[in-house]
A and B are shown apart, each in its own frame.
Chain A
Amino acid sequence: LCPLQVVWSMLGNRQFCSYKMTTKTQNFCRNEYNLTGLCNRSSCPLANSQYATVREEKGRCYLYMKTIERAAFPRRLWERVLLSKNYEKALEEIDENLIYWPRFIRHKCKQRFTKITQYLIRIRKLTLKRQRKLVPLRRKIERRENRREEKALIAAQLDNAIEKELLERLKQDTYGDIYNFPIHAFDKALEQQDAESESESDAEREEDEDDDEDVDKREFVEAEDSELSDFEDMDKLETSSEEEQEEEEEVEEKASHSKSKGKTPLKGPARRKRPYIEIEYEEETEPSTKTKAA
């Protein structure tokens, strides 16, 4: 019985072959000299005395051959031939070296050689493009940095810092005339003046109040960016009573609120309440001022 047949009947079919990898549909051979990669009677380098493969090393392709004469010398078993870099020339070299060999092996060698050259070309092309450098994350360091970031966030007290900065800028007058917050002393003086002016002449008082009103109105206007609507609102107040006026104002301010394209945040109406209160006690004389102004 032919020894190789025995080998195959043992390894390939029945007993254990360490190179054999089975999957659901196919058997693969992990032997590095295998020509096709499958586990077949004709592809097994162990069960064939005359065998050839093409392998590449560092970008150069070699033809490996095994003949039965050297079967007793494992060291010299595989003969290696360097193939030329030129594709067609290399194919000719394969043909030359495997001249009287079985068709199957010749064909498969050439196919394998073609595949190898194709992937070598691809490697060379990819190395020219940008390489992505993978930097491994160090777990300990990542954890340390995340923890430190959390602590820094707590220490930063961002909201307070931002608010302080904004108030500083307000004090230093970077906003100019937009916000008209009288300083406390001036506020008190203003109130005193109003208290006094009730006993003084009407004209002066009206002018003051007018100015104050206009100033307040201007506040609204600039924040709202809708001048005309506000003035219209103010004008409508003439005809109705105090409470109704206030209600209308509130309603219309809120309406114009929703009209404006979301420039004012929800805190707008809350802010509005204060000026309303001021207007309250001023409106007692408003009808008279309005008629005079008009």
Chain B
Amino acid sequence: AGEGSAPGSGDGAGPPAPERVLFPPTFSVSEIKNKQRRHFMFLRWKQQQRKEKLALKKKRRKEREALGDKAPPKAVPKTIENQRVYDETTVDPNDEEVAFDEATDEFAPYFNRQTVPKILITTSDRPRGRTVRFCEQLATVIPNSHVFYRRGLALKRIIPQCIARDFTDLIVINEDRKIPNGLVLSHLPDGPTAHFRMSSVRLRKEIKRKGKEPTEHVPEVILNNFTTRLGHSIGRMFAALFPHDPQFIGRQVATFHNQRDYIFFRFHRYIFKSEKKVGIQELGPRFTLKLRSLQKGTFDSKFGEYEWIHKRREMDTSRRKFHL
């Protein structure tokens, strides 16, 4: 440490560092007591590290060029999606058991085209302006949906009435501090109920470069990245909101994209410029959802049978583990 600090102390605070600084191996920057000198030495050390790194990169690149075709393929960088912990409930496309389950679960009537979706959108008590506008826009995006305001009515009493009037789905948007922050999606004739936390809600006027209003055409639906069993059931829930036959004339598409357990909803209008290029323009509201719980029956917070609840202490322990 003495040898190293001698040139350091000789340099003091000002003069520029020599090109090749060789720190003796026992030298450690943190051992200098004087803050100014320590800072200076640290900067020099940092510069040296950077130079070495750059030199290494150049060398590698030269080697690669020298080898030409025989060069080993570039290393694939690790991403969270690459490193994802394998979930044993991931659905294999050929799995028969899953196919059988899906043929007999609550959405079978929808997928067999026996029911036409009819959606009821409502809010929690006393919705504020933003929530109201969001509900209206959501109603334009989802065909065959109706907005009703809840004036103090209990959900448990609304549900039998809805079933009597042939509604297939119920959406309740929960509001807190004047912004919508939760979504409860319930498939009606005793279907599963999913409770989401909703964030980043953007109304139509807040979206930049948006197009004109969404029209009455039935949009297409894209469901991306729903891999596990749980993801599959949630995906089917979303699919059951939209009528079966999209009208391609309208060229509208609603996307539910799952990434790392966050479901992003977007609504676009697309146009095919050529067979290799498509342009999309965002209309309609956008929001992101994160699943909090999935319940077997319709909405019942006390006595319901929960299929899945997000338990923070158990499920959030690993950064590479996702459930949807």
Contacts and interface: CB of A to CB of B under 8 A. Distances in A.
Nearest to B286: A158
Contacts of B268: 162
B260 A155 contact: yes
B224 A161 contact: yes
Given A149-B262, A166-B270, A267-B281, A155 B215 contact: no
A225 B249 CA distance: 8
A277 interface: no
A166 B288 contact: no
> Is the interface on chain A under 10, 10 to 19, 20 to 34, or 35 or more residues?
35 or more
A178 interface: yes
Contacts of A149: 199-200, 262, 288, 290
B213 A262 contact: yes
Given A153-B264, A158-B266, A163 B278 contact: yes
A198 interface: no
Interface stretch (A14-22, A58-66, A140-148, A203-211): A140-148
Contacts of A166: 222, 253, 270, 272, 278, 280
Contacts of A179: 272, 275
B103 interface: no
A48 B181 CA distance: 56
Contacts of B215: 261-263
B136 to A, nearest CB: 18
B257 A268 contact: no
Contact of B272 (A130, A156, A181): A181
A265 interface: yes
B222 A153 contact: no
Contacts of A264: 271
A222 B249 CA distance: 7
Nearest to B155: A130
A156 B271 contact: no
- What's the dominant secondary structure at chain B's contact region? strand
Contact of B271 (A159, A169, A261, A265): A265
Contacts of A222: 249
Contact of A155 (B152, B224, B259, B288): B259
Interface string A148-184: 1101110110110111011101110001101101010
A262 B199 contact: no
Interface in B253-307: 253, 255, 257, 259-262, 264, 266, 268-276, 278-281, 288, 290
Nearest to A178: B248
Interface string A239-252: 00000000000000
B250 interface: yes
A266 interface: yes
Contact of A262 (B212, B266, B281): B212
A146 B199 CA distance: 8
B114 interface: no
A265 B262 contact: no
Interface string A258-278: 000111111110110000000
B279 A267 contact: yes
A265 B269 contact: yes
Contacts of B260: 148, 151-152, 155
Contact of B79 (A155, A165, A225): A155
B154 interface: yes
Contacts of A145: 197, 199, 290
A162 B253 contact: yes
Given A155-B260, A158-B264, A179-B275, 19 more contacts: A148-B260, A149-B199, A152-B261, A156-B264, A159-B280, A161-B255, A162-B222, A162-B255, A162-B280, A165-B255, A166-B253, A167-B275, A167-B278, A170-B275, A171-B275, A175-B248, A225-B249, A266-B211, A270-B273
Interface of A: 129-130, 141, 145-146, 148-149, 151-153, 155-156, 158-159, 161-163, 165-167, 169-171, 175-176, 178-179, 181, 183, 222-223, 225, 261-268, 270-271
